[in-house]
Structure 1
């Protein structure tokens, strides 16, 4: 999962994370401080605000300070590469259930003296796209079960929980109606609609140069980045008709096809070799 689920898309801190996730591995995991600040300025982030945002990202251990050939700069933190690879799978290859695919259910009972841990578990389950059947029973597509179990291990909650893989979900109401109570589908649809508005503007004209392509692409990625986490990828038969996610995903693909290569070329030209 992202290192900070509360970073607002479009904020300086969120843009730093997007730049790091998109490009730092392409730069052998290190970037000079001056080059990172320059790239943020290409995104309209003033240098002073950029430095503050970088400091916040360092606090989350996504970046660590390191000098290279005498130049001050930043390297990916120890666990950052694995986190970014997991993020790539979510962001660039979102999955969707097919009819008949299994579900993952998580049941837990956490003692009252650990209620802060219970709150943290629920927050993280919500962030990876889980729905709420009841306060202590959560559900998601089975392809997210690995992420559910990672959260349980990271919070040391195995002894207080049970994970089930189910091939069917039955109740008095049709499954489609139940899904609409387990997930806040209007909120997820609004996220997609917001991205549609953002991406439509970014793609409405051709970029004037490499810096413009870079700025449009990074801002588009930054706007899209939370959506594949909060949208669990439910099957189309379970979603409202004319689901906004379909057009949203198509626009995301168009954004990458048009802007990813010129944006990368701008970064490689901007960043000094080391």
Structure 2
């Protein structure tokens, strides 16, 4: 599947498979804090991650790394350390929660337009790079051909493009500004490097020669189906009133931590390009039902867990829910 990682203006960690304390902490902070004024003691972070089986050393390492990335900052010079979310992180959290909770709510407005990028880096530079690598030459000359190509592919992936052919990349829509700027930055100083950004339409939009061929839609469908299979029992337990506050925090956060990858890997193609039946709506409905039903319970559990280390936690902790217009909104709390 053509997967892209979105640009990250405050340096939050990239999603990884398996348990990831940094990724988990990012989800928790995004879900339950909505003020840069809140002073978050380090032991409160250790306690909240401890609910998920994360050890204290791993929790502190995650805290340190998110601080280095600019997601959180140290307040004052006292001991133990007190942290706070930066205003940039708060703005990003709000935007990302809107993105996560509204994704898939409405079909994209489709005009038939695609942005297409073609680029060329002289073969001779690539050949020199391969030769340099085979001769075990110094790394700097070896990077001359491969580094720009890698940088272009990385930038295109981050902007939501998928590779249709070797050096032909596409994405639905019409906005060319970000990709044009990225290509200028990467290739303007590369000798012989050429690129073009175009608005295109496909004569045969459906079928094996159409744009959907750039995407592993079968793999994406399987990922949605795996999400549904993983959390269907939890939804049944929620409906039966079997999830109490002690379980709600882990359950709700786990669902969001699993769901949040989809808005970044799903190209949100128009319906006529998708195989039927397409499982995204069923996955989204499941996520929203669990997420909404457990919000207050999860908030209460988080307050209970961190209050011994953060006495005014109840004044700051909140939770996000999908509002009627399918965008996220903080609910509860005073922060």
Would you say same fold, with TM above 0.5? yes
Aligned with residue 105 of structure 1, among 103, 110, 116: 116
Mapped pair 1:94 → 2:103: yes
Name 2:289's counterpart in structure 1: 254
Tell me the CA shift for residue 82 of structure 1: 4.2
RMSD: 3.1
Name 1:140's counterpart in structure 2: 171
- Bigger Rg, which one: 2
More moved, 237-246 vs 120-129: 120-129
For residues 14-44 of structure 1, what are the alpha-carbon distances to aligned partners after superposition, in whole Å with 9 as ceiling and x for unaligned?
A: 2112112222325745421111111111222
Tell me the CA shift for residue 176 of structure 1: 4.1
Aligned with residue 34 of structure 2, among 14, 17, 25: 25
Q: Contact 1:127/1:229 (CA < 8 Å) preserved in 2?
A: no
Q: Contact 2:14/2:23 (CA < 8 Å) preserved in 1?
A: no
Residue aligned with 1:104, SS:
strand
Runs of 5+ consecutive residues of structure 1 not aligned to the other structure? none
Name 2:139's counterpart in structure 1: none
For residues 35-76 of structure 1, what are the alpha-carbon distances to aligned partners after superposition, in whole Å with 9 as ceiling and x for unaligned?
A: 111111122222232223333333433223334886522223
Q: TM-score, normalised by structure 2?
A: 0.68
- Length, aligned pairs only: 269
Q: Contact 2:163/2:170 (CA < 8 Å) preserved in 1?
A: yes
Mapped pair 1:239 → 2:274: yes
Distance 1:134 1:73 in 2: 50
Structure number having the greater helix percentage? 1
Aligned with residue 215 of structure 2, among 183, 188, 209: 183
Distance 1:147 1:243 in 2: 30
Q: Contact 2:114/2:173 (CA < 8 Å) preserved in 1?
A: yes
Structure 1 residues 100, 116: closer, same or farther in 2, change over 3 A? Answer: same
Tell me the CA shift for residue 127 of structure 1: 4.9
Alignment of 1:34-53 (within 5 A): 34-53=43-62
Distance 2:178 2:229 in 1: 30
Distance 2:291 2:248 in 1: 11
